[in-house]
Amino acid sequence: MNEERRVAELDAELRSLADQDPAEAIHKSRALLSGSTNQQSVAAGVLIDAGALTKDSQAIQEGVQVFRELSQKYPESHGFRYNLANGLVTLADAVPFQNLDWYLETSALRREGRSLFERVTANRDCGDELRSTAACNLANAYWKAHRWAEAYDAYLEALRFDSTNAIAQTGAARVLLRCAQLRLGKPSVLMAVAQRHIERSERHKDRLRELGGARAETDLSSLFEKKLPGGVYPDLSSADDYQLFVARNRLALNLTIEGLDTSLKRWDSLQIKSIAEPVSTEGVPPLYAMFNVMKADFLTARLLAYRALYGETPDSGTYADTLDYAQYGTSQSLLTIAQRTCIDVLDKMAVATSEYFGLAGRFIYFSNRWYGDKLKGGGLQWNPDLLDPIAKRNTALVALAEISLDIESGGALHWNKLLRHASTHRFIVTHDVGNSASRTSSFVDHYRSGDFGSSVIKSLQLTRAALLYFVDLIAQHERPRRRGSECLLSFHNITKFEERKMKIRCISNKLTRFPGTDFLDYGSPPRSAQRLANCSRFVTGSQHLGSFHTCR
């Protein structure tokens, strides 16, 4: 206990110094790197935080190296893993941003950081407070990669573990406010939900400094002074069980990422609004048919998951008892089909992207569409055929490309892809109790029933986010194409199967208004607007007891 108290006092002293004189805090921290494990941990955390304040990449790198060595020496230490993740994303943020090539230059650092945050968030052995801060910082990492839908889900995951996490509350509010500003969904609903997040965070505003430091407290306190226009909070009083399932898990396929308009018969209203083509082009662009199929596949997977988890599924089969609490039947198979379908939609999205941009290739997967051949040394480069939208800062393309990195081996979302492959090429068995088979086989994977169900929900949320980004990708690319030339706009209403073609002339870069259009400005936020406060505090732990003391 005395050791923990001394470590806490040292940490508080150095962090207070870092707020006042970060350069001196770096100097004093370096003197502790040859000390005990706890002293090294405190010093490394301060090196990273103070290095970020002074833009001292060398100090940040030193802190990262210490946490990497400690993580390898004590692999059971979730705190060191979390600290390493914080250091990696901080090191990436220290690289100056000039254009979208920043995402290539920093991809390895940020990808590893996201993966480590996800591992801490998913680990039951970590305390809820640590899981909450890891999920919050994962959300920040998603936001910086323009993955706003996933960021919102991760902020709410952080609040599930710790409802007093004011950093997560303000982060969720800022995502909704940004969506409202860009009219990504219904502003009235987004404003109302954002206001509720702000009110809840204000009740715990004392935690802003504890979780994010003095700078976070100063930056985020301004949210409490915002006077948001009156909004309409989602009314789910008339929702049926399926609609409640969709709303609570944020699985509705529309631009309003929170809530559900139950007054609509077809509330999954996400569509490709318009595509500009030469006047001579005939027929409806195939992209509409492709998106219809992807959308229907997702809705089917969502329905199957609901019926498997909460509905009644007819089952006329009898199954052998394998004496290991395993579950067999149509409900279990519906879940595996839903899981597999989610990842299949991502591969179809890669094909649809190839159709839209005219990309070549026979073997098309979500993992191989966005980047070209790796450079010497393993660095990434953009797919040469996508350099035009990259040059125009199509941030939705960046979001999809970053997802492709996360679902590959070592990424934060690789688990989703592993489950898809397991259900396709091997066998998946779920269990009521535990996840051990009465006899093992390398061809059979075993999972706890609850864990597998949660994984399916996460896969649905991932696919929903990717579909939102895909529609955003088209919208961003179409906006400049509608300027300065005569073109034909094709509108295809999938509910009425109606096509409307209108010839318009664009003059002085301003699009002539005409009935039936809904052009949204999906401009990317400037880099300065992307800055959300990290739960940047670092965790120190007792080397012998394996317990962790939160020092900030």
| pLDDT, tens only, 239-286 | 999 999 999 999 999 989 988 888 888 999 999 988 887 777 788 889
Positions of E strands within 494-547: 498-505, 539-541
Q: Is the pLDDT of residue 505 over 80?
A: no
Q: Is the pLDDT of residue 503 over 50?
A: no
CA distance 94 to 91: 5
CA distance 12 to 290: 56
pLDDT of residue 333: 94
Q: Is the pLDDT of residue 497 over 70?
A: no
CA distance 468 to 396: 9
**CB hemisphere CA count around 469 (13 angstroms):** 30
CA distance 107 to 103: 6
> 492: domain range?
270-524
Q: Is the pLDDT of residue 397 over 70?
A: yes
Residue 403 placed within a domain: yes
How many domains would you assign to the chain? 1
Q: Is the pLDDT of residue 519 over 50?
A: no
The two three-digit tokens of residue 33, written as one number: 């790197």
Mean pLDDT, to the nearest integer, of 313-321?
92
pLDDT of residue 185: 87
Q: What is the pTM of this model?
A: 0.87
pLDDT of residue 129: 94
Residue 341 placed within a domain: yes
Q: Phi-psi bin for 61: left (phi > 0), alpha (psi -120 to 50), beta?
A: alpha
Residue 259 placed within a domain: no
pLDDT of residue 524: 33
Mean pLDDT estimate for the chain: 84
pLDDT of residue 520: 30
Residue 545 placed within a domain: no
pLDDT of residue 234: 84
CA distance 427 to 338: 15
Instruction: Report the interhelical angle of 78-93 vs 37-54 (nearest 10°).
Output: 20
Q: How far is CA 519 from CA 210, 276, 489, 524, in A?
A: 43, 12, 12, 15
Q: Is the pLDDT of residue 510 over 70?
A: no
The two three-digit tokens of residue 538, written as one number: 């670092």
Residue 502 placed within a domain: yes
Percent helix, strand, coil in the chain (nearest 5)? 55, 5, 35
Stretch among 3-12, 67-76, 196-205 having the lowest mean pLDDT:
3-12
CA distance 243 to 235: 11
**Secondary structure of residue 382 in the 3-state scheme:** strand
Say how many C-beta atoms besides its own lie within 10 A of residue 321's C-beta.
9
Residue 230 CB burial class (10 angstroms; 0-12, 13-18, ≥19):
exposed
Residue 302 placed within a domain: yes
pLDDT digits (tens, 9 = 90+) for 483-495: 544 555 544 444 4
CA distance 260 to 22: 47
Residue 519 placed within a domain: yes
- Residue 487, H or E segment: strand 486-493
Residue 198 placed within a domain: no
pLDDT of residue 4: 78
Spatial CB neighbours of 146, under 8 Å, sequence gap ≥ 6 = 395, 396, 398, 399, 402, 469, 524
pLDDT of residue 299: 97
